[in-house]
């Protein structure tokens, strides 16, 4: 049985190395997309400081549909190109937003959110969805967070059958 271990958050590179290692153990032998997304959401929400939302949106046609998450209820459907999540899919790149109030077209599901990190999930060349993290702190996310979450997205696609 998997059990999350405490991770030192002072050194971000080491934090994400250990988080990736825990995630690989958590997903080992489980190919189900929903089960894996649910466990990744819980692991991120429980181990990463200063989050108020952590979860997934999956691409269905020309919109993102809410997947497993931790936090307050969220927007269910986001058109590609709208908000931070839809923009990340349209531009096919991760996006760090230091102040969501300054992001044109930001979709506010939780008024307490101040910063956001969105990482596309790729299956080969196709984008199948995004990992979305929100924080009540401005400028919560940086390049180390982006690289760490991009690695978690890779582990998710390697373990999961789509």
CB 21 within 8 A of CB 140: no
- pLDDT tens, residue by residue, 35-62: 999 999 999 999 999 999 999 999 999 9
The average confidence (pLDDT) of the chain is: 93
Mean pLDDT across 137-146 = 96
Pick the CATH number of 12-159 from 3.90.480.20, 3.40.50.10800, 3.30.450.40, 3.30.420.10: 3.30.450.40
* 108 confidence band (pLDDT: 50, 70, 90): confident
- pLDDT tens, residue by residue, 10-34: 789 999 999 999 999 999 999 999 9
What is residue 52's DSSP assignment? Answer: S
Domain extents for the chain?
12-159
Contacts of 52 (CB under 8 A, 6+ apart): 71, 72, 110, 112, 113, 134, 135, 136
Quick one: pLDDT at residue 49? 94
Token digits of residue 75: 């927007």
> Which runs of E-coded beta strand occur in 3-143?
53-60, 63-71, 77-79, 95-97, 115-123, 126-135
Residue 2 pLDDT more than 60? no
* Phi and psi based region of residue 15 (left: phi greater than 0; alpha: psi -120 to 50; beta: remaining): alpha
The model carries a pTM of: 0.93
């Amino acid at each position: 049985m998997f059990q999350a271990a405490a991770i030192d958050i002072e050194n971000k590179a080491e934090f994400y190395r250990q988080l990736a290692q825990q995630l690989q153990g958590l997903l080992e032998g489980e190919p189900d997309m929903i089960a894996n997304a649910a466990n990744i959401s819980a692991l991120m929400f429980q181990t990463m400081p200063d989050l108020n939302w952590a979860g997934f949106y999956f691409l269905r046609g020309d919109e993102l549909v809410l997947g497993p998450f931790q936090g307050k209820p969220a927007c269910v459907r986001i058109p590609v190109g709208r908000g931070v999540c839809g923009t990340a899919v349209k531009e096919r790149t991760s996006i760090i937003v230091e102040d969501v109030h300054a992001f044109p077209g930001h979709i506010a599901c939780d008024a307490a959110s101040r910063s956001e990190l969105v990482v596309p999930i790729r299956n080969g060349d196709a984008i199948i969805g995004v990992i979305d993290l929100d924080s009540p702190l401005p400028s919560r996310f940086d390049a180390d967070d982006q690289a760490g979450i991009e690695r978690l997205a890779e582990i998710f696609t390697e373990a999961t059958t789509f």
